[in-house]
């Protein structure tokens, strides 16, 4: 198991993701603990890409109530529970697809866990064609996320799918 992520800061965003993914795989190789693996994946994304907040929300079902519940994250404290279809995370869960928001203040129903967050990307994690979690990434910059983030974060979500 790798204990460190080594990615040069002068690389482009795409080059950073391309270097990050094999290192994430090495980081979690041989470790079976879900919390340890998810925590390390989140930390690797946060510190490599220098985003404001990176975390995961897991779908939790209790009786007939389904909601997203906060899992491992890096950044300031966050909202603990999110209803289906609510905010960017709940909408990505409802639509079963990634959502990129250039300006969170323009997103109807945005849930503001931090007023410092300006843009966001949320990517669902699937198992057996069903959303089991969402990866949520926030930036303090407007329009911080694009197709490059979507492509590589979806790849990381495929890794998370095997971990959760």
Cα(68)–Cα(122) distance, rounded to whole angstroms? 13
List, for the chain, all residue ranges whose pLDDT scores fall below the cut of 70: 1-2
Cα(147)–Cα(97) distance, rounded to whole angstroms? 13
Q: How many domains does the chain have?
A: 1
- Left if phi > 0, otherwise alpha if psi is -120 to 50, otherwise beta: which for 161? alpha
> Which token pair is 103?
């300006």
pLDDT at 1: 54
Q: Is residue 93 part of a domain?
A: yes
78 in Cβ contact with 55 (< 8 Å)? yes
Q: Which residue from 122, 73, 76, 131 is spatially nearest to 101, judged by alpha carbons? A: 122
Q: Is residue 141 part of a domain?
A: yes
Q: Is residue 17 part of a domain?
A: yes
Q: Is residue 5 part of a domain?
A: no
Q: Is residue 7 part of a domain?
A: no
Domain boundaries, position 112: 13-163
Q: Are strands 130-139 and 53-62 parallel, antiparallel or unpaired?
A: antiparallel
Give me the CATH number covering residue 119.
Answer: 3.30.450.40
Q: Is residue 145 part of a domain?
A: yes
Q: Which residue from 23, 38, 46, 20 is spatially nearest to 132, judged by alpha carbons? A: 38
> How many H-runs (helices) and E-runs (strands) does the chain carry?
4, 6
35 in helix, strand or coil? helix
Q: Is residue 8 part of a domain?
A: no
160 in Cβ contact with 133 (< 8 Å)? yes
Q: Is residue 4 part of a domain?
A: no
pLDDT at 2: 56
pLDDT at 113: 77
Place of tokens 């290192």: 23
Place of tokens 């999110």: 82
Cα(26)–Cα(49) distance, rounded to whole angstroms? 18
């Amino acid at each position: 198991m790798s204990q460190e992520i080594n990615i040069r800061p002068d690389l482009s965003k795409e080059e950073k993701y391309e270097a990050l993914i094999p290192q994430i795989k090495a980081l979690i190789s041989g470790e079976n603990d879900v919390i340890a693996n998810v925590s390390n994946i989140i930390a690797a994304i946060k510190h490599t890409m220098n985003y404001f907040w990176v975390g995961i929300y897991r779908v939790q079902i209790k009786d007939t109530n389904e909601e997203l519940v906060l899992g491992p994250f890096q950044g300031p404290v966050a909202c603990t529970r999110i209803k289906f279809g609510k905010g960017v995370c709940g909408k990505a869960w409802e639509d079963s697809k990634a959502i990129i928001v250039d300006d969170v203040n323009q997103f109807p129903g945005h849930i503001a866990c931090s007023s410092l967050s300006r843009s966001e990307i949320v990517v669902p994690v699937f198992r057996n064609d069903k959303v089991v979690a969402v990866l949520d990434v926030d930036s303090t910059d407007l329009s911080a996320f694009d197709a490059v983030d979507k492509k590589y974060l979806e790849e990381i979500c495929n890794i998370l799918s095997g971990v959760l």
